[in-house]
Amino acid sequence: MEREKQLRILAFGAHPDDCDVTCGGTAALWARAGHVVQFVSVTNGDAGHHEIGGAPLAWRRRAEAAAAGKVIGISYLVLDHHDGELEPSLANRREIIGLIRDFRPHLSLSPRPYDYHPDHRYTALLIQDAAYMVTVPNIVAHHAHLPANPVICYVRDHFLKPVPFQPDVAVIIDEVIELKWDMLHCHTSQMYEWLPYNGGYLSDVPAADGDRRRWLAQRRSGRDRALAGSYRDLLISRYGRECGQAAQYAEAFEVSEYGAPLTPALREQLFP
């Protein structure tokens, strides 16, 4: 793959807003550099609220995802599987295989299969189970098979058992952190309603839109800064001591052995 070639990045999350949280900053950098990025939510998010649900919530969350994608100029696909009911079935595997083949990514991003939420775990399993099969012509034969697996990387989570997240690549996102927060701001049903309700801090959420955006940035800033501190050695190794030490915000990725190997040359091509 030549350095000048336009990259195709396919990021999977279980719910609308998952990709924004885990890789929204890096996606903004890819998009800014002219690469093609697509976010995929494998469920429609129709259970993620305390007051509404079903089709109206699914429609709302799909619109929120589309608005978030527009912030950085990427497409955001929401599949129509019920929130909280995703299964790693053959039918769902075929759908993921077809989607990967049609998009033909150089890099796929996935949650890890170790997580509190079954939808997150099963999204990871579906991508893991599709990894080799995307190269097999007689599987899902009406979608042209790929000549080789793309690189697959896991996005970060904080779970330690049975295996903690072990980052291989860290990306500085300081210059696009406001865009990442703008994307999350689009997910009104989650950032200002469901998550605060579920977390017990709904009364802290401001009423006005502008106040909410500032509140969201303040609430996330400490958490997002902590990630750069966690990956400081990786950042210094990749960007040099001065730049790596100065970085305030970062996202990190762990290479999956189910995809193509991430060689040093590919690392420089694929990651901003």
Q: Find out whether 192 and 212 touch, Cβ atoms under 8 Å.
A: yes
Q: How does residue 244 score in pLDDT terms, banded at 50, 70 and 90?
A: very high
- Segment 224-233 mean pLDDT: 93
pTM over 0.85: yes
Calculate the average pLDDT of the chain: 96
**How far is it, in rounded angstroms, from Cα 57 to Cα 44?**
9
b/e sequence 117-147, b meaning 16+ C-beta within 10 Å: bebbbbbbbbbbbbbebbeeeebbeeeeebe
Q: Reading across the β-sheet that carries 151-155, which strands appear in turn?
A: 75-78, 36-41, 8-13, 107-110, 151-155, 250-255, 169-172
CATH code of the region 8-175+251-270: 3.40.50.10320
Strand partners, 12: 40
Tell me, what amino acid is at 2? Answer: E
Average pLDDT over residues 93-117: 97
pLDDT score of 20 more than 70: yes
Contact 111, 12 (CB under 8 A): yes
Predicted local confidence at residue 164, as pLDDT: 97
Sign of the CA dihedral 133, 137, 143, 145? Answer: positive
Neighbours of 159 (CB within 10 A): 13
The residue-averaged pLDDT of 19-23 equals 98
Q: Give residue 223's pLDDT.
A: 87
How do residues 109-131 score in pLDDT, each as one tens digit? 999 999 999 999 999 999 999 99
**Distance from C-alpha of 21 to C-alpha of 18, rounded to nearest angstrom:** 5
Q: pLDDT-based confidence at 237, cuts 50/70/90?
A: very high
Whether pLDDT at 37 is above 80: yes
pLDDT at 127: 98
High-pLDDT (> 90) share of the chain, %: 97
Give the residue-averaged pLDDT of 90-94: 98
Alpha carbon of 215 to those of 60, 70, 90, 122, 209: distances in Å? 22, 22, 43, 33, 10
**Residue 7 carries which DSSP code?**
P
What pLDDT is stored for residue 4 in this prediction? Answer: 53
Kindly list the domain boundaries of the chain, sorted by start residue. Answer: 8-175+251-270
Q: What pLDDT, on a 0 to 100 scale, did the predictor assign at position 1?
A: 45
> Residue 99: CB partners within 8 Å, gap ≥ 6?
10, 40, 77
Residue 128 makes CB contacts below 8 A (sequence gap 6+) with: 110, 113, 256, 258
What is the mean pLDDT of the segment spanning 230-250?
96
Is the predicted pLDDT of residue 2 greater than 80, yes or no? no
pLDDT of residue 161: 94
Q: What is the pLDDT of residues 200-224, one digit of tens each?
A: 999 999 999 999 999 999 999 998 8
The pLDDT of residue 268? 93
Per residue in 145-194, pLDDT (tens digit) is 999 999 999 999 999 999 999 999 999 999 999 999 999 999 999 999 99
Mean pLDDT value of segment 239-266: 96
Cα angle: 145, vertex 149, 150; to 5 degrees: 115
111, 139, 140: which is closest to 127 by C-alpha?
Answer: 111
Answer for the pair 271, 26: CB distance below 8 angstroms, yes or no: yes
Q: What's the first-to-final CA gap in the chain, in angstroms?
A: 15
Helical axes 209-230 vs 232-239, angle rounded to 10°: 80
Nearest CA to 256 out of 116, 83, 124, 136 is that of 124
Check whether 228 has a pLDDT greater than 80. yes
